[in-house]
Structure formats: structure tokens, C-alpha cells
Structure 1
Amino acid sequence: MAESDKKLSLDPTDLRVLELLQNDASLSNQDLAAAAHTSPATCLRRVKRLVEAGVIERRVAILSPEKLGAGLTVLAEITLDRQGAEHLAAFEARAVAEPAVQQCYRVSPGPDFMLVMQAPDMAGYHALVQRLFTQDANVRNVKAFFNVHRAKFEPRIALPVIG
């Protein structure tokens, strides 16, 4: 088994650090250590270990689509004509290379892919459709759903509670 495939054992301090980083990844190591009730050196070692193990994939800022002119969120189901491994991989590569695609999932059963996309408006969405779907002869069907109200957006992972 590869080192990265091993299940990492997380203790309560690791979970506190992860919870704090999910709330605010911009915390300095000093502030993170204080909030996690550990020393800065220990906190830094734990965060480094969690990053190296792939538990922390990356730290990002969550931006407001509306304030940046990208207020149209689109959820799309994509069905391909041919589902061979090379066809799925080719579409996936095109989708993940498109900046407007925020999330790309291969799903089953039903459509082949679910995409979460961000566009400035319907004209921007139409341009995206031309780039990503219309020009791909293997795309059989696109079923798009347009956001009218976002009740919740939370990229957090529910962490286990340890005694």
C-alpha cells in the first residue's frame, strides 16, 4: 500500500486544527495554535503533516460570485453518446480545463457527468455552451438547472467527534 493510501490517524488536536482551518484558513500559525490549545511549533508540524498526507488539499478564499459579476450558477447533467474510458476521459479533461467549471463529477446512474459552472449571465452561459458542449460531437444531452436562490453554500467536511 502506498504511503498516501494509508488511513491517517487523527486525534482531537488534529480535528480541532482542521475545524479551525475550515472556519478561517487565513489564521496565522500563532492564532491557530492558540485556538487549538497547542504550541505554535506543534501546530505547524501538525498542519505540515496534514498537508503532506493530503488531508488538507489546499487553502483558498471563497469569493462572492455576485460581487464579481459571475452571478449565474448552473448545475448541468451531461450525457455522452459513447461512454468508453477514453471518451469519458476526453470530456472530463475538457470540462476541468474550462475556467467556468467549478466542479466536475462523473456520476452513476443517470447522466455521465454533473458540472457546477459559474457564468456572468445568460449570454455568458450561451458562450460556455458553445465552447464546452455544442462543439463536442460526443455530447448527447445537456440538462441545465439555473440557480434562482442559494440557501446554503458550505464547502466544509463534517469531522468526527472524538471523545
Structure 2
Amino acid sequence: MSEIAEPITLDATDLRILDQLQRDASLTNQALAAAVHTSPATCLRRVKRLMDTGVIERQVALLSPAKLGAGLTAIVELTLDAQGAEHLAAFEAKAVADEAVRQCYRVSPGPDFLLILQLADMAGYHALVQRLFTQDANVRNVRTFFATRRAKFEPSLALPTISGSPAL
């Protein structure tokens, strides 16, 4: 996600395929082709191209954290003491390797990192604090916010419209 890539040219069919897959990636090729009004062969070829070019990064199932015992969501702002490229890379590698870190962003301005954590409970959070923050001498400041309610979680992207094509 951090590397800058040339955008790929997408037409209305590609956008309809992406829209449908963002809604339900479990669709069979036959069902997807019918939903986007194209032939199964064309649909399969298009999906393969979207995957090969990295437009579709991966297909996953979205799970309920609360039903799986990981009901504590924490959003962490973190600033390092030394901020050279090697220090940022070292902390980032440590953070992304930790199973509780679900998202990791280098941000600017302000803190160096924004982490989204998914944990079972406060004991799990305290264990993570020891692993990632306290034991790392380069961590200067940590500010954590605990989610009390998830009002919206939408992992899909808003897709552009192409003039002359129906809105998605």
C-alpha cells in the first residue's frame, strides 16, 4: 500500500465487477457474470486481470470480532524518539508482525504511526503495551483511544463512475 503505483485503466465492466466483488466476493463466476451483464469467459478474464495487476489485492471473509472473543478495539497514536528511516522501518516491522495489530499506518503530520488493534480485553492490551511500546526504548509517546461503539465499518472503496455508464 505504501508504494506509489501507476493507476490502471478501468472501464465500466471492470467497475461493475469490482463493485459486485466488494459486496460479495463469494459469488461464483457464473453469478458474477450474470450480475455484471457479461459472459462468464469475459468475467473470468477480467477478474484474473484485476488480480494480476494488483487492483484486487486479496479476497477475504469479514469476521465479527465480538463473536470471536476479540471485542476490544484500540486506536493508537505513537511517536518515536529517533525518527530516521531505519528507526521507522524497525518499529513498523515489529508492529506488523504482532497479531493484535490489524492495521498500521505511517502518518504525517503529528504522530509517526497510527495502529488499529483488535484484542480480547484490557489484559491483552497491557500485554501488547509491554511487547511493543515499553520494551522499545525508541517509543517516546503513546496515546490510545478505546472504541466504545463501532458505528460504521466499511472496508470497500468508493469506485469512480464513467460518463455514459450507469451509476453503481
With the shorter chain as reference, the TM-score category is over 0.9
Unmatched tracts of structure 1, length 5 or more: none
Amino acid at match of 2:90: A
CA deviation map 1:51-99 (0-9, x unaligned): 1111000000000000000000000000000000000000000000001
Amino acid at match of 2:78: I
CA distance in 1, matches of 2:132, 2:122: 15
Q: Structure 1 residues 111, 6: closer, same or farther in 2, change over 3 A?
A: closer
Amino acid at match of 1:122: M
Residue in structure 2 matched with residue 147 of structure 1 by the alignment = 147
Query: Which aligned pairs between 1:60-79 and structure 2 lie closer than 5 A?
Result: 60-79=60-79
Residue in structure 2 matched with residue 49 of structure 1 by the alignment = 49
Root-mean-square deviation (CA, aligned residues, Å) is 1.0
- Measure how far apart 1:8 and its partner are: 1.3
SS of corresponding position for 2:10: coil
CA distance in 2, matches of 1:127, 1:39: 52
Query: Which aligned pairs between 1:17-56 and structure 2 lie closer than 5 A?
Result: 17-56=17-56
CA distance in 1, matches of 2:6, 2:72: 40
Query: TM-score when scaled to structure 1?
Result: 0.96
The question of 1:128 aligning with 2:120 is answered no
Query: Which aligned pairs between 1:106-121 and structure 2 lie closer than 5 A?
Result: 106-121=106-121
Residue in structure 2 matched with residue 101 of structure 1 by the alignment = 101
Query: TM-score when scaled to structure 2?
Result: 0.93
CA deviation map 1:6-34 (0-9, x unaligned): 43110100000000000001111111111
Aligned pairs, number: 160
- Measure how far apart 1:47 and its partner are: 0.4
- Name the % identity: 74
SS of corresponding position for 1:105: strand
Amino acid at match of 2:108: S
Amino acid at match of 1:81: D
Amino acid at match of 2:26: S
- Measure how far apart 1:161 and its partner are: 1.1
Amino acid at match of 1:124: G
Amino acid at match of 1:87: H
Unmatched tracts of structure 2, length 5 or more: none
Residue in structure 2 matched with residue 89 of structure 1 by the alignment = 89
